[in-house]
Amino acid sequence: MSAPLLELREITVSFDGFLALRDLNLSLQPGELRAVIGPNGAGKTTFLDVITGKTAPTEGDVLFQGRSLVGRAEHRIARLGIGRKFQSPRVFEKLSVQENLALAVSRPKQPWPLLFGRLGGQERERVHHLMGIVNLQSRADWEAGALSHGQKQWLEIAMLVGQDPDLLLVDEPVAGLTDEETDLTADLLKSLAGDHTVLVIEHDMEFIRRLESPVTVLHQGHVLCEGTMDQVQADPRVIEVYLGTSEEEQS
Amino acid sequence: MFQRFQQSRWPQLLVWVLIIAAIVAAPAVLPVFRLNLLGRFLSLAIVALGIDLIWGFTGLLSLGQGIFFALGGYAAAMYLQLNSSSGFPNGIPEFFGLYGVKQLPAFWQPFHSPLFTLVAIWLIPAVLAAVLGNLVFRNRIKGVYFSILTQAALLVFFNFFNGQQKLINGTNGLKTDVTQLFGQMVGSPEMQRGFFWFTALMVIAAWVFVRWVVRGRFGDVLIAIRDDEPRLRFAGFNPTLFKTIVFAIAGGLAGIGGALYTVQSGIVSPQYMTVPFSIEMVIWVAVGGRGTLVGAILGAVAINYAKSLVSEAMPQSWLFIQGGLFILVVTALPEGVIGWWRSDGPRNLLTRLGITRRIGTYPQLELDGQEEVQP
């Protein structure tokens, strides 16, 4: 087994005494596609915040390609090759589809080259290629704010791919999408795995099943179990967590 | 028909033709006093362009631009004072004598040089803005907290300049109108006419410069900072750097505006660093239209011209009118006058008044249709 691309070691995050994550261990192999599920409040988003530098862990360490990410600023972590798609689509609404993607593919991301340089031919080609993948060519000059919800989701995924990260963190990519769009998104993510490592957080079980990937179940800030979708769904602990026992009503 | 007109580039071109025609015609038709006022307001337009860059595009509401404005003014005034002080005791500006100062303070020395002064006018405010801005931005202080900090800084500078008689003549400020430049009196009509032309050119240069900054991907990053800064970080951009740069640019522009304003009004004093004046600067941009560069220029010139006309006729009423304007913009025209024009405001108004017919679909759809019909 090769060295893991991403490794979380005994991560604990405490918000004023509330433990959002407790002794969380997780590792991802290069090229892997992994799904993370868990009831509301299980710490899924905090888990992404820790990796991307938005939240500092109270204890523990995050290693990416052998380097610790703890204490690095968000933009530096992003430049190391970690891209993130947010739960609700966050695109730059006053910029056009093309401009959104141009920012994502821009390299370097320093002020001076952006001020004096123009978008290179290669970068422009990439923008067109990405618009093709997510079917937004005809909307190239639209303000992103005018897109439908599904189109925004896709634009954000395209921006993420445009950053060309080694690790893609995708938070609820199919929330609010039609069935057809959901299927297309699953295919897109599957095609990205291999070249990239993809970690998907989702509630939609059918979608996770389509990904045909190993599943990690989070509950109350730590890993409850890992396995294939069928194994996980058959696990009595998972059923208990999802369906709820007497005192733990989870939606 | 009207919509075509509005969508095309003609109105924008027309506005520019009118502006340039007005500037070219002004020296011929305006009395010296009015021309001088217009020149001053044009120098304020340069400040407004800077505010538009940081507020309209980047979302940084600075209530402290008066600092940079005044620093530019002081730099120009110090040079002019030194340039005309050979006849006074000790060969230093006359006011020093009032306080028994016999030797020129060290920081005045470099202002003997015209070249140094020309650079200092924009570089000192820009560097100060970069330092202050960076301290604030790197700590991720945003929004209203940033505004309050800039206002606090403004008060600090105001009080400092106000109290330093022996250094920069304190509350009296530095006069420039009786100083000499190129062997002529700065306050003379010929010199003032020259300053007017120079200011007009500088407004256009500043407009071209700011437009260059906001176009392209750098400008897109600024808009992205304004709309969703955290998201931009995850895309690998460091907003702190971008914000520092534009804040420095706005500071430099304010310095240039302040210097031009000073030589045309004949004095620079701590009054340029009062809180209301810096807030007024923001109002010019808000009324003209945030994020529209022409709006910032028109807002600064039009509001100040209105202010001087109204103040002459009814001295007490200007503050009420200004307050009313601000309320009108906040409630009815959040995009400012130019923004209202560009976002179909005139047609909506005509529709509401029953002059034009309502359109049945989204404007976008109707427009799309038209575009397809055209060859």
Is B224 within 8 Å of A95 when comparing Cβ atoms?
yes
Mean pLDDT score across all residues of chain B:
86
A106: nearest CB among B217, B241, B245: B217
- Chain B residue closest in CA terms to A79: B236
Is A103 within 8 Å of B224 when comparing Cβ atoms?
yes
- Is B264 or B188 the better-scoring residue by pLDDT? B264
Average pLDDT over residues B1-8: 50
B231: nearest CB among A90, A109, A119: A90
Is A118 within 8 Å of B216 when comparing Cβ atoms?
yes
pTM higher than the cut 0.90: no
A115: nearest CB among B213, B226, B230: B213
Of the residues A51, A115, A166, the best mutation for testing chain B's interface (the one with the most B CB atoms within 10 Å of its CB) is: A115
Tell me the C-alpha distance between B225 and A92, whole Å. 9
- pLDDT at residue B319 greater than cutoff 90: no
Of the residues A49, A69, A75, the best mutation for testing chain B's interface (the one with the most B CB atoms within 10 Å of its CB) is: A75
Of the residues B137, B210, B211, B217, the best mutation for testing chain A's interface (the one with the most A CB atoms within 10 Å of its CB) is: B217
What's the pLDDT at B27?
83
- pLDDT at residue B48 greater than cutoff 80: yes
What's the pLDDT at B97?
84
* Least confident range of A76-80, B4-8, B148-152, B157-161: B4-8
- For chains A and B, CB pairs below 8 A equal 75
- pLDDT at residue B371 greater than cutoff 60: no
Is A86 within 8 Å of B231 when comparing Cβ atoms?
yes
What's the pLDDT at B156?
96
Burial of B131-151, coded b for 16+ CB within 10 Å and e otherwise, reads: ebbbebbeeeebeeebbebbb
Contact (CB, 8 A) for B205 and B122? no
- Is A92 or B333 the better-scoring residue by pLDDT? A92
ipTM: 0.86
Tell me the C-alpha distance between B67 and B274, whole Å. 9
| Residue A197 touches chain B, beta carbons under 8 Å | no
**Which residues on chain A are in Cβ contact (under 8 Å) with B214?**
none
Task: Give residue B363's pLDDT band: very low, low, confident or very high (50, 70, 90).
Answer: low
Task: Give residue B202's pLDDT band: very low, low, confident or very high (50, 70, 90).
Answer: very high
**Which residues on chain A are in Cβ contact (under 8 Å) with B223?**
92, 94-95
Average pLDDT over residues B175-202: 86
| Residue A78 touches chain B, beta carbons under 8 Å | yes
- Chain B residue closest in CA terms to A89: B231
Tell me the C-alpha distance between A23 and A46, whole Å. 13
Contact (CB, 8 A) for A1 and A29? yes
Is A92 within 8 Å of B241 when comparing Cβ atoms?
no
- Is B349 or B127 the better-scoring residue by pLDDT? B127
Centroid of chain to Cα B40: 11
Q: What percent of chain B has pLDDT over 70?
A: 92
- pLDDT at residue B338 greater than cutoff 90: no
Is B233 within 8 Å of A75 when comparing Cβ atoms?
yes
Contacts of A68 (CB under 8 A, 6+ apart): A61, A62
Q: How far is B291 from chain A (nearest CA, A)?
A: 11
Is B233 within 8 Å of A74 when comparing Cβ atoms?
yes
- pLDDT at residue B5 greater than cutoff 60: no
- Chain A residue closest in CA terms to B246: A111
- pLDDT at residue B125 greater than cutoff 80: yes
What's the pLDDT at B149?
94
- pLDDT at residue B370 greater than cutoff 60: no
Q: ∠ CA(B53), CA(B74), CA(B294), 5° rounding? A: 25
Contact (CB, 8 A) for B125 and B70? no
Q: ∠ CA(B275), CA(B279), CA(B280), 5° rounding? A: 115
Average pLDDT over residues B307-321: 88
- pLDDT at residue B353 greater than cutoff 70: yes
Of the residues A86, A114, A119, the best mutation for testing chain B's interface (the one with the most B CB atoms within 10 Å of its CB) is: A114
What's the pLDDT at A110?
86
Q: What percent of chain B has pLDDT over 90?
A: 49
Three-state SS at B31: coil
10 Å Cβ neighbour count for B297?
Answer: 28
The tokens describing A117, both together, are 């340089």
Centroid of chain to Cα B186: 23
| Residue A185 touches chain B, beta carbons under 8 Å | no
What's the pLDDT at B359?
59
- Chain A residue closest in CA terms to B236: A75
Contacts of B173 (CB under 8 A, 6+ apart): B77, B267, B268, B269, B270, B271
Task: Give residue B8's pLDDT band: very low, low, confident or very high (50, 70, 90).
Answer: low
Contacts of B286 (CB under 8 A, 6+ apart): B299, B326, B329, B330, B336
Interface of A with B in 97-136 (CB under 8 A): 99, 102-104, 106, 109-111, 114-115, 118-119
Tell me the C-alpha distance between B91 and A180, whole Å. 84
- pLDDT at residue B262 greater than cutoff 70: yes
The tokens describing A17, both together, are 């005494």
Contact (CB, 8 A) for B38 and B301? yes
What's the pLDDT at B33?
86
| Residue A94 touches chain B, beta carbons under 8 Å | yes
Query: Taken in order A55, A56, A60, A65, is the CA torsion positive or negative?
Result: positive
Ordered per-residue pLDDT tens for chain A, 251 residues: 578 889 888 889 988 888 888 888 888 888 889 999 888 888 888 889 999 999 999 988 999 988 899 889 999 999 999 999 888 888 999 999 999 999 998 888 888 888 887 788 888 899 999 898 888 888 888 899 998 888 888 899 899 988 889 999 998 888 888 888 888 888 888 888 878 899 999 888 888 888 888 999 888 888 888 888 888 888 888 888 776 654 444 44
A103: nearest CB among B213, B220, B245: B220
